[in-house]
Structure 1
Amino acid sequence: MNEDVRRAARKLWDFHCIYDALGPADVIIGLGSYDIRVALRCAELFHAGHAPRIVFTGASGNWTRGLFPGREADAFREAAERAGVPAGAIAVEAEATNIGENIRFSRDLAPGARDVILVTKPQTQRRCRATMDRQWPEVRAAITAPLTAYEDQPLPHHDERALICEMVGDLRRFRPYAELGFQTAVAVPDEVAAAADLLVDAGFTDHLPKEALGG
């Protein structure tokens, strides 16, 4: 992978990552995915006393079918329990198939919550922020993720190419998803948009929304 591609990818990575300051919360919500490190980050925050309970959310998606024995939320719950989180402190929502559903369905399991910590993959933080602001605006939400560097984020089942395609695809979803009411609008700096254009021209198009592919 050439250096121009990596520089562009890091530009997107830096934009997608948020890492809000964290304080006490009513609940930690861990978004299911192919990255089990999210569950371990939730366990870490629980043990640090940030919140007394965790909700794991997620069914199975294109990137996790066959990866776990069951659904994402169940795999994350098991990982958190192995990391010492009591079973009674965990709730599972295993029907959501996208970020909007992750948030709406988790909201139903956290009635009365005012402060929420949302834990996702590093490169999904900005999309989660925009979705949270639209789907659950009445809470104070802090967005965070595993403290993973770009070079350590690729996994055997989701390599660097897949990571780059994911970041490009999420960036290109910001405008249409805001227009559809799924999330709030996200202002994309010109240099970030240019980096995404470079990556699209270089063929990192596997995760583009259908409308960007003319479908």
Structure 2
Amino acid sequence: MLYIVATPIGNLDDITFRAVDVLKSVDVILCEDTREALKLLNHLGIKKRLISYYRDNERGRLKTALSLLLEGRDVALICDRGTPGVSDPAYLLVREAYKNNIPVTPVPGPSALTAAMSVCGLPTDRIVFYGFLPRKKGKKRKIMEELREREETIIFYESVHRVKETLGFIKEVFPDREMTLCRELTKKFEEIKTGNVSDVFEYYKDKEPKGEFVIIIRGKN
């Protein structure tokens, strides 16, 4: 059995009872970063065999993971934070499992995407989720200009290193839209800033950004 297990995005108390039971019961845990996984597992008092499984080695580790599953081992896939498959590796392994008649089950729980949607104060019945925008400025602007024409609420992640640059692009491309910027959700320094794009840009203009960000922009009226 392959278990796709959601883990906390910040507050370790957000782990579900079922996730704990699954992590205790499986033979192997595939994890994005073994160091991050150990923090969680040590907190839970769980000792398991860990195999690193992240975007850059995903294709190379597929064979190893599939071999374990074909041997009848129970395997859990986790990412550093949140739900695998939401801007983190999962789909290639899940697809191969199905091809080989290996059962797959989700162990749902925390996700930065759904957490941000729940507190953004914007319509979320229809959304466009883009994950992380391209790093190159030209590609990033092109994507934003395409998204500008969408009526759905737009959601994407951004890293601390590029968030100020991205906010500058948002101000140029979506000057009159409402937006919400969520930072460090569920953590000690959680911050949720809502308002007009220009207001949010001004709020962060002179601040040194810290943490992980989810950006939500209202769609075209």
TM-score by length of 2: 0.37
Which structure dedicates a bigger proportion of its chain to helix?
A: 1
| Higher Rg | 2
TM-score by length of 1: 0.38
Which structure dedicates a bigger proportion of its chain to strand?
A: 2
Structure showing greater relative contact order (alpha-carbon pairs closer than 8 Å, 6 or more residues apart): 1
